[in-house]
Structure 1
Amino acid sequence: MVDVARSTFILGGQRSGKSRRAETLARQWLDVSPAHRAVMIATGQAWDDEMRERIERHKADRALRVPGMATVEEPLALAEALTRHSDANTLIVVDCLTLWLTNLTMPADPAQALPEAAVIAAGEDLCAAIAAAPGPLVLVGNEIGLGVIPMGREVRAFVDALGRLNQQVAAACERVTLMAAGLPLTLKDRT
Protein backbone atom coordinates (compact mmCIF):
# COMPACT_ATOMS: atom_id res chain seq x y z
CA MET A 1 0.00 0.00 0.00
CA VAL A 2 1.28 3.44 -0.90
CA ASP A 3 1.47 5.80 2.06
CA VAL A 4 2.29 8.96 0.09
CA ALA A 5 0.57 12.21 1.03
CA ARG A 6 0.55 15.24 -1.26
CA SER A 7 3.11 16.85 1.06
CA THR A 8 5.05 15.14 3.83
CA PHE A 9 7.61 16.63 6.20
CA ILE A 10 9.87 14.08 7.89
CA LEU A 11 11.77 15.33 10.95
CA GLY A 12 14.23 13.62 13.25
CA GLY A 13 17.71 13.59 14.66
CA GLN A 14 20.85 12.39 12.94
CA ARG A 15 20.64 8.74 11.87
CA SER A 16 16.99 8.53 12.96
CA GLY A 17 15.84 7.03 9.65
CA LYS A 18 14.54 10.20 7.96
CA SER A 19 16.18 9.68 4.58
CA ARG A 20 15.40 5.98 4.55
CA ARG A 21 11.72 6.77 5.22
CA ALA A 22 11.69 9.29 2.36
CA GLU A 23 13.32 6.74 0.04
CA THR A 24 10.74 4.12 1.03
CA LEU A 25 7.93 6.50 0.10
CA ALA A 26 9.64 7.23 -3.23
CA ARG A 27 10.07 3.52 -3.96
CA GLN A 28 6.39 2.88 -3.13
CA TRP A 29 5.40 5.72 -5.47
CA LEU A 30 7.51 4.34 -8.31
CA ASP A 31 6.12 0.82 -7.81
CA VAL A 32 2.53 1.97 -8.34
CA SER A 33 2.79 2.98 -11.99
CA PRO A 34 5.33 3.00 -14.81
CA ALA A 35 4.21 6.59 -15.44
CA HIS A 36 5.47 7.67 -12.00
CA ARG A 37 8.86 9.33 -11.59
CA ALA A 38 10.86 10.32 -8.51
CA VAL A 39 13.40 13.12 -8.18
CA MET A 40 15.72 13.77 -5.24
CA ILE A 41 16.63 17.41 -4.74
CA ALA A 42 19.86 17.25 -2.74
CA THR A 43 20.85 20.40 -0.90
CA GLY A 44 24.22 19.32 0.55
CA GLN A 45 27.47 20.82 -0.63
CA ALA A 46 30.86 19.14 -0.49
CA TRP A 47 32.97 21.63 1.44
CA ASP A 48 35.54 19.05 2.52
CA ASP A 49 36.72 15.52 1.79
CA GLU A 50 34.50 13.91 4.44
CA MET A 51 31.39 15.58 3.03
CA ARG A 52 32.38 14.62 -0.53
CA GLU A 53 32.70 10.99 0.57
CA ARG A 54 29.39 11.18 2.44
CA ILE A 55 27.58 12.57 -0.62
CA GLU A 56 29.04 9.88 -2.89
CA ARG A 57 28.06 7.16 -0.39
CA HIS A 58 24.51 8.53 -0.19
CA LYS A 59 24.24 8.57 -4.00
CA ALA A 60 25.45 4.98 -4.27
CA ASP A 61 23.17 3.74 -1.46
CA ARG A 62 20.18 5.61 -2.89
CA ALA A 63 20.77 4.11 -6.35
CA LEU A 64 20.52 0.63 -4.80
CA ARG A 65 17.46 1.36 -2.66
CA VAL A 66 15.51 3.44 -5.17
CA PRO A 67 16.64 2.59 -8.70
CA GLY A 68 15.30 5.07 -11.18
CA MET A 69 15.18 8.06 -8.84
CA ALA A 70 16.94 11.01 -10.48
CA THR A 71 19.08 13.37 -8.42
CA VAL A 72 19.21 17.14 -8.81
CA GLU A 73 21.70 19.11 -6.74
CA GLU A 74 20.34 22.48 -5.64
CA PRO A 75 21.92 24.03 -2.54
CA LEU A 76 20.20 27.44 -2.64
CA ALA A 77 17.24 27.95 -5.02
CA LEU A 78 15.02 25.31 -3.47
CA ALA A 79 11.60 26.87 -4.15
CA GLU A 80 12.54 27.34 -7.79
CA ALA A 81 13.78 23.74 -8.05
CA LEU A 82 10.48 22.44 -6.63
CA THR A 83 8.54 24.50 -9.15
CA ARG A 84 10.77 23.39 -12.03
CA HIS A 85 10.69 19.64 -11.30
CA SER A 86 7.21 19.08 -9.86
CA ASP A 87 4.42 17.56 -11.89
CA ALA A 88 1.47 15.32 -11.09
CA ASN A 89 3.38 12.09 -11.85
CA THR A 90 6.62 13.05 -10.09
CA LEU A 91 7.31 12.59 -6.40
CA ILE A 92 10.01 14.95 -5.19
CA VAL A 93 12.18 14.23 -2.17
CA VAL A 94 14.09 17.19 -0.69
CA ASP A 95 17.01 16.07 1.46
CA CYS A 96 17.53 18.14 3.46
CA LEU A 97 16.11 21.42 4.68
CA THR A 98 18.72 21.70 7.44
CA LEU A 99 21.59 21.74 4.94
CA TRP A 100 19.64 24.18 2.75
CA LEU A 101 19.28 26.54 5.71
CA THR A 102 22.98 26.09 6.49
CA ASN A 103 23.81 27.08 2.91
CA LEU A 104 21.72 30.25 3.27
CA THR A 105 22.94 31.30 6.71
CA MET A 106 26.51 29.96 6.91
CA PRO A 107 27.99 29.88 3.39
CA ALA A 108 31.72 29.40 2.76
CA ASP A 109 31.95 33.15 2.19
CA PRO A 110 30.34 34.76 5.27
CA ALA A 111 29.65 37.92 3.24
CA GLN A 112 27.06 35.90 1.25
CA ALA A 113 25.04 34.89 4.34
CA LEU A 114 21.44 35.99 4.13
CA PRO A 115 20.02 38.26 6.83
CA GLU A 116 17.24 36.90 9.04
CA ALA A 117 14.44 38.61 7.08
CA ALA A 118 15.69 37.09 3.80
CA VAL A 119 15.89 33.63 5.39
CA ILE A 120 12.30 33.95 6.63
CA ALA A 121 11.24 35.09 3.13
CA ALA A 122 13.03 32.08 1.58
CA GLY A 123 11.04 29.85 3.93
CA GLU A 124 7.82 31.56 2.85
CA ASP A 125 8.76 31.08 -0.81
CA LEU A 126 9.42 27.40 -0.09
CA CYS A 127 6.01 27.03 1.57
CA ALA A 128 4.33 28.71 -1.42
CA ALA A 129 6.09 26.23 -3.72
CA ILE A 130 4.91 23.36 -1.50
CA ALA A 131 1.32 24.61 -1.72
CA ALA A 132 1.51 25.03 -5.51
CA ALA A 133 3.21 21.72 -6.31
CA PRO A 134 1.03 19.52 -8.52
CA GLY A 135 2.72 16.29 -7.42
CA PRO A 136 3.66 14.72 -4.09
CA LEU A 137 6.53 16.12 -2.02
CA VAL A 138 8.57 14.56 0.76
CA LEU A 139 10.78 17.02 2.64
CA VAL A 140 13.42 15.89 5.13
CA GLY A 141 14.82 18.01 7.95
CA ASN A 142 16.56 17.74 11.28
CA GLU A 143 14.96 18.36 14.65
CA ILE A 144 17.86 19.81 16.61
CA GLY A 145 16.02 21.79 19.27
CA LEU A 146 15.50 18.94 21.73
CA GLY A 147 18.90 19.12 23.43
CA VAL A 148 20.80 21.56 25.55
CA ILE A 149 20.95 25.23 24.64
CA PRO A 150 24.06 25.60 22.48
CA MET A 151 26.91 27.89 23.40
CA GLY A 152 27.66 30.66 20.98
CA ARG A 153 25.45 33.31 19.45
CA GLU A 154 25.75 31.96 15.89
CA VAL A 155 24.75 28.42 16.85
CA ARG A 156 21.80 29.65 18.93
CA ALA A 157 20.69 31.83 15.99
CA PHE A 158 20.86 28.80 13.67
CA VAL A 159 18.84 26.62 16.06
CA ASP A 160 16.23 29.40 16.26
CA ALA A 161 16.15 29.80 12.46
CA LEU A 162 15.77 26.04 11.95
CA GLY A 163 12.97 25.93 14.51
CA ARG A 164 11.14 28.70 12.62
CA LEU A 165 11.69 26.95 9.27
CA ASN A 166 10.48 23.62 10.65
CA GLN A 167 7.31 25.29 11.95
CA GLN A 168 6.69 27.00 8.58
CA VAL A 169 7.13 23.76 6.63
CA ALA A 170 5.11 21.69 9.12
CA ALA A 171 2.22 24.14 8.77
CA ALA A 172 2.42 23.92 4.95
CA CYS A 173 2.51 20.10 4.74
CA GLU A 174 -0.41 17.68 4.98
CA ARG A 175 1.59 15.12 6.93
CA VAL A 176 4.40 15.55 9.47
CA THR A 177 6.33 12.52 10.71
CA LEU A 178 8.91 12.43 13.49
CA MET A 179 11.48 9.65 13.15
CA ALA A 180 13.14 8.09 16.19
CA ALA A 181 15.26 4.92 16.07
CA GLY A 182 13.97 4.18 12.57
CA LEU A 183 10.34 4.33 13.68
CA PRO A 184 7.84 6.87 12.29
CA LEU A 185 5.58 8.78 14.64
CA THR A 186 2.83 10.74 12.88
CA LEU A 187 2.53 14.24 14.32
CA LYS A 188 0.03 15.55 11.76
CA ASP A 189 -2.06 13.86 9.08
CA ARG A 190 -4.60 15.78 7.02
CA THR A 191 -4.74 13.27 4.14
Structure 2
Amino acid sequence: MTTSTMTIARSELILGGQKSGKSSRAEQLAAEWSISDPQHEVMMIATAQAGDAEMKVRIELHRLLRQKKLPRCQTIEETIEIAKVIEQYSDPKRFLLIDCLTLWLSNFLSPPPEQNNASPSDLAASFLQAHSALLNAIHACRGPIVLVSNEIGQGVIPLGAETRYFVDQLGLLNQVVAQACERVTLMVAGCPIYIKGTA
Protein backbone atom coordinates (compact mmCIF):
# COMPACT_ATOMS: atom_id res chain seq x y z
CA MET A 1 0.00 0.00 0.00
CA THR A 2 1.66 3.22 -1.11
CA THR A 3 0.80 6.88 -1.37
CA SER A 4 2.38 9.70 -3.31
CA THR A 5 5.11 10.45 -0.76
CA MET A 6 5.44 7.59 1.74
CA THR A 7 4.79 3.91 2.22
CA ILE A 8 1.99 3.02 4.57
CA ALA A 9 2.56 -0.15 6.58
CA ARG A 10 -0.17 -2.70 7.05
CA SER A 11 0.11 -2.04 10.78
CA GLU A 12 2.21 0.49 12.67
CA LEU A 13 2.83 1.48 16.28
CA ILE A 14 3.94 5.09 16.80
CA LEU A 15 5.64 5.76 20.14
CA GLY A 16 7.04 8.90 21.72
CA GLY A 17 7.01 11.22 24.68
CA GLN A 18 4.48 13.97 25.28
CA LYS A 19 4.28 16.44 22.37
CA SER A 20 6.88 14.45 20.43
CA GLY A 21 4.74 14.49 17.26
CA LYS A 22 3.07 11.08 17.61
CA SER A 23 -0.47 12.12 16.70
CA SER A 24 0.72 14.49 13.99
CA ARG A 25 2.70 11.68 12.37
CA ALA A 26 -0.30 9.34 12.52
CA GLU A 27 -2.55 12.01 11.02
CA GLN A 28 0.01 12.67 8.27
CA LEU A 29 -0.07 9.00 7.32
CA ALA A 30 -3.88 9.04 7.38
CA ALA A 31 -3.94 12.14 5.15
CA GLU A 32 -1.59 10.50 2.66
CA TRP A 33 -3.85 7.44 2.58
CA SER A 34 -6.95 9.57 2.11
CA ILE A 35 -5.64 11.55 -0.87
CA SER A 36 -4.09 8.55 -2.64
CA ASP A 37 -7.48 7.15 -3.72
CA PRO A 38 -10.96 8.77 -3.70
CA GLN A 39 -12.40 5.54 -2.29
CA HIS A 40 -10.07 5.55 0.71
CA GLU A 41 -11.61 6.33 4.11
CA VAL A 42 -10.08 7.31 7.44
CA MET A 43 -11.57 6.45 10.81
CA MET A 44 -10.15 7.52 14.15
CA ILE A 45 -10.87 5.59 17.32
CA ALA A 46 -10.38 8.08 20.18
CA THR A 47 -9.89 6.64 23.66
CA ALA A 48 -9.79 9.85 25.73
CA GLN A 49 -12.33 10.61 28.44
CA ALA A 50 -13.16 14.23 29.27
CA GLY A 51 -12.71 13.84 33.01
CA ASP A 52 -12.07 17.52 33.76
CA ALA A 53 -12.28 20.96 32.14
CA GLU A 54 -8.67 20.93 30.91
CA MET A 55 -9.17 17.55 29.22
CA LYS A 56 -12.40 18.75 27.58
CA VAL A 57 -10.53 21.70 26.08
CA ARG A 58 -7.68 19.43 24.94
CA ILE A 59 -10.10 16.99 23.25
CA GLU A 60 -11.96 19.80 21.51
CA LEU A 61 -8.70 21.32 20.25
CA HIS A 62 -7.68 17.92 18.85
CA ARG A 63 -11.04 17.67 17.09
CA LEU A 64 -10.67 21.09 15.47
CA LEU A 65 -7.11 20.42 14.31
CA ARG A 66 -8.10 17.00 13.00
CA GLN A 67 -10.97 18.48 10.99
CA LYS A 68 -8.45 20.72 9.19
CA LYS A 69 -5.98 17.92 8.48
CA LEU A 70 -8.52 15.18 7.82
CA PRO A 71 -11.82 16.78 6.79
CA ARG A 72 -13.30 13.42 5.72
CA CYS A 73 -12.22 11.56 8.85
CA GLN A 74 -14.89 9.79 10.87
CA THR A 75 -14.33 9.64 14.63
CA ILE A 76 -15.59 7.02 17.06
CA GLU A 77 -15.07 7.62 20.76
CA GLU A 78 -14.47 4.31 22.52
CA THR A 79 -12.69 4.14 25.85
CA ILE A 80 -12.62 0.36 26.42
CA GLU A 81 -13.84 -1.91 23.59
CA ILE A 82 -11.42 -0.81 20.88
CA ALA A 83 -10.87 -4.36 19.60
CA LYS A 84 -14.58 -4.68 18.80
CA VAL A 85 -14.52 -1.35 16.96
CA ILE A 86 -11.48 -2.43 14.93
CA GLU A 87 -13.21 -5.70 14.01
CA GLN A 88 -16.43 -3.91 13.08
CA TYR A 89 -14.87 -1.24 10.86
CA SER A 90 -11.89 -3.10 9.40
CA ASP A 91 -11.95 -2.75 5.61
CA PRO A 92 -9.31 -2.83 2.86
CA LYS A 93 -10.25 0.73 1.88
CA ARG A 94 -10.34 2.12 5.43
CA PHE A 95 -7.39 3.47 7.45
CA LEU A 96 -7.91 2.97 11.19
CA LEU A 97 -6.13 5.31 13.61
CA ILE A 98 -6.21 4.47 17.33
CA ASP A 99 -5.16 7.38 19.55
CA CYS A 100 -4.09 6.40 22.09
CA LEU A 101 -3.20 3.16 23.90
CA THR A 102 -1.89 5.06 26.95
CA LEU A 103 -5.33 6.50 27.71
CA TRP A 104 -6.94 3.15 26.90
CA LEU A 105 -4.78 1.50 29.58
CA SER A 106 -5.57 4.32 31.99
CA ASN A 107 -9.30 3.80 31.40
CA PHE A 108 -8.90 0.18 32.48
CA LEU A 109 -6.68 0.70 35.49
CA SER A 110 -8.25 3.95 36.78
CA PRO A 111 -11.97 3.83 35.99
CA PRO A 112 -14.23 6.68 37.17
CA PRO A 113 -15.35 6.36 40.83
CA GLU A 114 -18.91 5.41 39.82
CA GLN A 115 -17.51 2.46 37.82
CA ASN A 116 -14.77 1.46 40.25
CA ASN A 117 -16.52 -1.52 41.86
CA ALA A 118 -14.12 -4.17 40.57
CA SER A 119 -11.17 -5.43 42.57
CA PRO A 120 -7.63 -4.84 41.27
CA SER A 121 -7.37 -8.51 40.27
CA ASP A 122 -10.67 -8.27 38.35
CA LEU A 123 -9.43 -5.14 36.57
CA ALA A 124 -6.18 -6.88 35.66
CA ALA A 125 -8.02 -9.95 34.33
CA SER A 126 -10.37 -7.76 32.32
CA PHE A 127 -7.45 -5.89 30.82
CA LEU A 128 -5.64 -9.12 29.87
CA GLN A 129 -8.73 -10.24 27.97
CA ALA A 130 -8.97 -6.89 26.18
CA HIS A 131 -5.22 -7.00 25.56
CA SER A 132 -5.52 -10.37 23.79
CA ALA A 133 -8.54 -9.21 21.79
CA LEU A 134 -6.62 -6.12 20.61
CA LEU A 135 -3.70 -8.21 19.33
CA ASN A 136 -6.11 -10.50 17.46
CA ALA A 137 -7.85 -7.46 15.94
CA ILE A 138 -4.52 -6.00 14.76
CA HIS A 139 -3.56 -9.28 13.08
CA ALA A 140 -6.99 -9.65 11.45
CA CYS A 141 -7.38 -6.01 10.33
CA ARG A 142 -8.08 -5.94 6.57
CA GLY A 143 -6.81 -2.39 5.97
CA PRO A 144 -3.98 -0.26 7.36
CA ILE A 145 -4.02 0.36 11.10
CA VAL A 146 -1.90 2.82 13.09
CA LEU A 147 -1.80 2.84 16.89
CA VAL A 148 -0.37 5.69 18.97
CA SER A 149 1.14 5.17 22.42
CA ASN A 150 3.41 6.99 24.86
CA GLU A 151 6.95 6.02 25.77
CA ILE A 152 7.10 6.89 29.47
CA GLY A 153 9.59 4.40 30.87
CA GLN A 154 12.82 6.29 30.23
CA GLY A 155 12.70 8.69 33.16
CA VAL A 156 13.13 8.45 36.92
CA ILE A 157 11.40 5.46 38.54
CA PRO A 158 8.20 6.82 40.17
CA LEU A 159 7.87 6.72 43.95
CA GLY A 160 4.24 5.59 44.06
CA ALA A 161 3.38 1.90 43.65
CA GLU A 162 0.33 2.66 41.46
CA THR A 163 2.38 4.84 39.12
CA ARG A 164 5.13 2.23 38.90
CA TYR A 165 2.51 -0.40 38.06
CA PHE A 166 1.05 1.78 35.31
CA VAL A 167 4.49 2.47 33.77
CA ASP A 168 5.26 -1.26 33.85
CA GLN A 169 1.94 -2.22 32.26
CA LEU A 170 2.26 0.38 29.51
CA GLY A 171 5.78 -0.82 28.71
CA LEU A 172 4.56 -4.41 28.46
CA LEU A 173 1.59 -3.35 26.32
CA ASN A 174 3.86 -1.43 23.96
CA GLN A 175 6.12 -4.47 23.63
CA VAL A 176 3.39 -6.90 22.56
CA VAL A 177 1.72 -4.39 20.24
CA ALA A 178 5.12 -3.69 18.65
CA GLN A 179 5.56 -7.42 18.04
CA ALA A 180 2.15 -7.53 16.35
CA CYS A 181 2.84 -4.54 14.07
CA GLU A 182 4.73 -4.49 10.80
CA ARG A 183 6.41 -1.17 11.59
CA VAL A 184 7.32 0.62 14.83
CA THR A 185 8.23 4.31 14.77
CA LEU A 186 9.67 6.36 17.65
CA MET A 187 8.99 10.09 17.45
CA VAL A 188 11.64 12.44 18.90
CA ALA A 189 11.08 16.22 18.59
CA GLY A 190 8.84 15.67 15.58
CA CYS A 191 11.32 13.40 13.78
CA PRO A 192 10.55 9.73 13.07
CA ILE A 193 13.07 7.03 13.99
CA TYR A 194 12.20 3.64 12.54
CA ILE A 195 12.67 0.95 15.17
CA LYS A 196 11.10 -1.90 13.18
CA GLY A 197 10.29 -2.15 9.49
CA THR A 198 11.33 0.26 6.77
CA ALA A 199 10.51 3.89 6.06
Q: Normalising TM by the smaller chain, what interval? A: over 0.9
Give the gaps of 5 or more residues in structure 1: none
The equivalent of 2:191 in structure 1 is 183
Conserved? CA contact 1:7–1:136, under 8 Å: yes
Q: Which residue of 1 aligns with 2:13?
A: 9
Code of the residue aligned with 1:125 in structure 2: it is A
What does the per-residue CA deviation read over 1:116-170, in whole Å, with 9 as the maximum and x for residues that have no partner? 2332232121010000000000000000000010011110110111011001100
Cα distance per residue 1:98-123 (max 9 Å; x no partner): 00000011111232465323322321
Aligned-residue identity in percent: 49
Query: Structure 1 length as normaliser, TM-score?
Result: 0.96
Matched with 1:49 is 53
Query: Runs in 1 of length 4+ with deviation above 6 angstroms?
Result: none
Instruction: Give aligned pairs, total.
Output: 191
Q: Retained in 2: the 8 A contact 1:123–1:168? A: no
| 1:159 corresponds to 2:167 | yes
**Are positions 1:169 and 2:177 aligned together?**
yes
Gaps of 5+ in 2: none
Answer whether contact 1:124 1:168 (CA < 8 A) is retained. no
Name 1:144's counterpart in structure 2: 152
Deviations 1:38-65 (A, max 9, x none): 0000000000111011100000001011
- Report the Cα offset of residue 190 of structure 1: 6.6
Partners in 1 of 2:83 and 2:198 — Cα distance?
Answer: 23
3-state secondary structure, aligned to 2:169: helix
2: CA distance, partners of 1:181 / 1:102: 24
Say whether 1:61 aligns with 2:73. no
Separation (CA, whole Å) in 1 of partners of 2:51 and 2:155: 26
